[in-house]
Amino acid sequence: MIRFDDQVAIVTGAGAGLGRSHALRLAERGAKVVVNDLGASTDGQGTDDSAAAQVVAEITAAGGTAMAHGADVSDEAQVADMVAQVMDRWGRIDILINNAGILRDKSFAKLEIADFRKVVEVHLMGTAICTHAVWPVMREQGYGRVVVTTSASGLYGNFGQANYGAAKAAMIGLMNVLHLEGARYNIRVNTLAPTATTRMTEDLLPEEVQKLLVPETITPGVLYLVSEDAPSRVILGAGGGSYAQTRVYETEGITLMGSDNTPDAVAAQFDRITDEAGMKVMDDAFAQTRKYAANAAKALGVDVNWT
């Protein structure tokens, strides 16, 4: 049975919805939980500490251990204060689930840049700031589990969500780099792609669908992603009890050299360029560099020494 005894977990945006569900289940399995929530509206307006306090009360009433903190995840000083309080109280941080977020949906033509910036600040910068704040702690203790939260809007697109989709797509790049940098310190980093009924989606989904996609159907997957035996660099889709992995592949492609490397040749060969046969996952950015250089070297009949 997966347990989190003697571990400390921070869950951002944990006053309601997915975050609340994650916090409750972590505490149920033994973790000391930091319930972070600014208490803002779904578009990021206002503050209210009552939601986080209520989740802490639920946890303690059930025999668990928790504390609330109202840090705005996009504010470095407030996040630093949260981490300092956690370290003073419990002396370690094992788990960070980056869940906090807002929506300011409009079509791109009508979207104010200020609203684009605010959504990116909360989702992307908030995730980066919180992760950056706990990263030294996890490196020092030689253990850490981090989850960042993306969305189908970021992976596949959704009309009227250019700001949200851009911020959520950025989570994949962040995960890929942190996975590589954290590996030697036993820090594993994964991405959750949830489809759930929350404050941010309840007006978008039919009532019968809302009943199927409650947050509690997603949290088991998250708890696996932050467990001791968790994988790393996984994009886990979750909703209604369904789980699936999203992966980014690159086709085998073609190589065009010299006078053959023209826009017309790219157009003529585009079916081959996009042929899925033999497509592969790239382990890192340099894997693509090596592939393209090797292809060019082969076409020119020259040797490349990578040492």
**Res 255: pLDDT:** 96
Structural domains in the chain plus CATH codes:
8-246 (3.40.50.720), 258-300 (no CATH)
User: What amino acid is encoded at 193 in this protein?
Assistant: A
Q: What is the arithmetic mean of pLDDT over 36-50?
A: 71
Q: What is the pLDDT of residue 306?
A: 65
pLDDT of residue 286: 78
Place of tokens 């003073």: 88
Q: Per residue in 266-300, pLDDT tens?
A: 999 999 999 999 999 988 787 888 888 888 888 88
Closest CA relative to residue 216, chosen from 199, 241, 237? 241
Average pLDDT over residues 39-54: 73
- The amino acid sitting at 269 is Q
Strand 95-97 vs strand 187-194: parallel, antiparallel, or unpaired?
unpaired
**52 close to 15: Cβ distance less than 8 angstroms:** yes
CB 227 within 8 A of CB 208: no
Compute the chain's Rg from CA coordinates: 22
- Distance separating alpha carbons of residues 218 and 215, to the nearest angstrom: 5
State both tokens at 198: 């929350």
Q: Which residues are catalytic?
A: 164
Determine which of 152-156, 174-178, 209-213, 250-254 has the lowest per-residue pLDDT on average.
209-213
Q: What would the pLDDT profile of 105-157 be if each residue is shown by its tens digit?
A: 899 999 999 999 999 999 999 999 999 999 999 999 999 999 999 999 999 99
- Tell me how far apart the alpha carbons of residues 213 and 224 are, in angstroms, rounded to a whole number: 19
- The single residue listed with the structure tokens 């025999």 is 63
Output DSSP code: residue 244.
Answer: E
* Pairing status of strand 235-239 against strand 187-194: parallel
Per-residue pLDDT for 204 more than 70? no
- pLDDT per position as a tens digit, 217-269: 999 999 999 999 999 999 999 998 999 999 999 999 999 999 999 999 999 99
| pLDDT score of 215 | 92
| pLDDT over 90 at 199, yes or no | no
pLDDT digit string, tens, across residues 70-96 = 999 999 999 999 999 999 999 999 999
Share of the chain above pLDDT 90, in %: 79
Kindly give, in sequence order, each residue whose CB lies less than 8 Å from that of residue 258, ignoring residues fewer than 6 positions away.
none
Q: pLDDT band for 203, please (50, 70, 90 cuts).
A: low
- pLDDT band, residue 211 (cuts 50/70/90): confident
DSSP string, 193-220: EE----TTTTTTS-HHHHHHS-GGGTHH
Q: Where are the beta strands (DSSP E) in the chain?
A: 8-12, 32-36, 65-69, 95-97, 144-149, 187-194, 235-239, 242-246
pLDDT band at 41 (very low <50, low <70, confident <90, very high): low
pLDDT of residue 98: 98
Q: What is the pTM of this model?
A: 0.91
The CA distance from 31 to 301, in Å, is 59
